[in-house]
Structure 1
Amino acid sequence: MAEETVSNEINSAELEAFEMPLFQAMRRLQQDAEVHAKRLARYGGLSPVQLMILQVLASDGQMTASALSRRVSLTAATLSGQLDRLEERGLLQRQRDDQDRRRQWLLLSDSGRELLQEAPALLAPEFRARFAALPQWERHALTAALLRAAELCGDME
């Protein structure tokens, strides 16, 4: 029992050494994402989440809201609001399934496709350029580390 307490204290002390640099790195990523989100908003009034939704629909074709929710990591409630805004702007369409009227398909509209043709990338140009310059192993390692960090954050939605 005493060994467990010592072990936990060591882990806590080790964790504290990482806490500040991890928080600072996460905050910097958040700030950079917010700056890029403002750039996206100036272009066609899209948020990064809305752009991601349109890109997924463009690549995957028609899909249900529940499938899209899983694909873009949004709760059903958050996704619903985003879909309403995109539909109001004529960028996506909702279609009832011919066989099962309870099922509704989401499709990218022609206007949505046109908008995507000229839309900026989800990631800031500076980041994309620096990321592309990294060796392949480092791009994979960085992606894996960020995905793992997102898992550690849990359901933050």
Structure 2
Amino acid sequence: MAQACLDQKVGPALFCEDDIEFAPDFEKRLHVVQTYLESCDWDVFSGLITDFGPDYVITRVTHFGGEVFVHLNRCVGMVCGIYNHRALMRLASWTDDIQLAIDRYLEASEGLKVVTTLRFLVGHSDSLKSSIWHFNNERYNNMIKNSELRLKSLVRDYEKKNE
């Protein structure tokens, strides 16, 4: 899909997995996200970070349109993402030969400018089975909850330090 977007000079591109869970206010929040992204330099907007790693660094926090936008050095999880040109190029360069899942490959990519929201834009449906990994999505609940809690804590620390 990334290569098709590049070939057709389409971007940014919104990709959603089949096990996404949309909040009732998704469209309104997505509009705020898209408006915000027009005002900054970014490569990936991650609507849900499934496994917030210990090496994730906040580079900026901005309050806009009722959302808290968090700029990071990396992300993992592809339940919902908006990919700008550089991220589309990275995704298009992934192959089955690479010993990482595509989301971990993107996470390992140096220099990507990632934006997310504190209160993730989407959820991951518990009631569905992963079409890739063939296990129930309930398995992700604690990981996602811990990711959002860690992000919240780091945002709080970042804002105190930068008052």
Tell me if both proteins adopt one fold, taking TM over 0.5 as the criterion: no
Higher strand share: 2
Higher helix share: 1
Larger Rg over CA atoms = 1
TM-score, with length taken from structure 1: 0.29
TM-score, with length taken from structure 2: 0.28
Taking CA–CA contacts closer than 8 Å with sequence separation of 6 or more, which of the two structures ends up with the larger relative contact order?
2
